[in-house]
Chains A and B, each alone.
Chain A
Amino acid sequence: MSEFSSYDQLRLAGKTAAEVYATAKAHGMDDIRAIRMLRTVFGMSLGEAKEAIGVAKTFVEPQEVAVGTTVYWEGADTVDGPWIAQARVKKIEGDCAVIADHRKFLIRPEGLVEVEPHGLLERIRLSYFEKGLASRLQQSAEFWQELATLGYGGS
């Protein structure tokens, strides 16, 4: 009997890959095994299995913004270079998130270095958080260029 025969039965019963994945998750299956299961049962490529488990959504869906959630944004300046910030949403006022408990991380060759979060915004428009990760990455191309060369190509 195949390792995934019970999931093959679901496929034969007409369930989609996403539905079979949801069942596997409900059974406590982790994503490494779930990818293997989907590829075995549905004959998928790795990319197709990734789509079935929802990886593609990560790059297009907005950040979750609600009271108590953590939000992230990024920037770069001539003093600190590229940085990433995070904060907790304290409340929503109109079209803005009022945020607190800021943390700021500089992107350095040795990794993310936390620094005092001076000068960060206390209110950010909700529309900012509607951008998906792919969009943020694209808009931060210079950030990535710097990330790619920051201290790693030199002496």
Chain B
Amino acid sequence: MPKPTKQQAEALAALGLAGDQLDAFCGGEEVVFFFPTQKEPGIGVIQLAAERLRCGIVSIKDPGGGLMSLARFRANSFRVARAFQVTELELFGAAVVNPRFAELLQRQSFVRRIVACPDDLGGGEMEILAKTFEVPFDE
């Protein structure tokens, strides 16, 4: 199983992955993890698949600092994508429960899709709102 480089490990740790989750992620597993917010930890999902990194938010409970937490999650996701030199980053929200937020994401070209739900979250299927971004590389 490939071990993360120092840069990769730091990027994953900044996002919120810890301990065995780093090796699981590097081995291609879909990892459910807690990410830091301004209040209580949120829940994220991340997976490396060939040239694409998939990274999404399942849950966030941070009414005041939510914008800051979302922006930080996004930036840290791009940091992981760059560290692993993938060309695409798919960002998504899983089972988005607020209709106004769902509508906002769709206006930003996030698209609804049904995908498998990680076993850690009970398995089955889940609906996501996803958008794929190109990943710029540092010079």
> Which A residues have a C-beta under 8 Å from some C-beta of B?
30-32, 35-36, 38-40, 45-47, 49-51, 53-64, 70-72, 74, 84, 86, 105, 107, 109-112, 129, 132-138, 140-141, 144-145, 147-148, 151-155
Contact of A151 among B34, B61, B136 (CB under 8 A): B136
B67:A64 contact, CB within 8 angstroms = no
Q: Which residues of A contact B78 (CB under 8 A)?
A: 109, 152
How many B residues face the partner with a CB closer than 8 A?
46
Beyond contacts A50-B97, A84-B67, A138-B104: 7 other A-B pairs, Cβ-Cβ < 8 A, are: A31-B59, A32-B43, A32-B121, A46-B58, A55-B60, A57-B63, A153-B134
> Which B residues have a C-beta under 8 Å from some C-beta of A?
32, 34, 38, 41, 43, 58-68, 71-72, 74-76, 78-79, 94-98, 100-101, 104, 107-109, 117, 120-122, 124, 126-127, 131, 133-136
A111:B79 contact, CB within 8 angstroms = yes
Most B CB contacts (10 A, CB to CB) among A45, A50, A138 go to: A50
Q: Which residue of A lies closest to B117 (CB)?
A: A46
B121:A53 contact, CB within 8 angstroms = no
Show 29 residue pairs from A and B whose CB-CB distance is below 8 angstroms, ordered by the A residue.
A31-B41, A32-B32, A32-B34, A35-B59, A35-B122, A38-B122, A39-B121, A40-B122, A45-B124, A46-B117, A46-B122, A54-B61, A55-B61, A56-B98, A58-B61, A59-B101, A64-B64, A72-B38, A105-B71, A110-B79, A111-B76, A132-B63, A134-B101, A134-B104, A136-B67, A137-B100, A141-B107, A147-B74, A148-B131
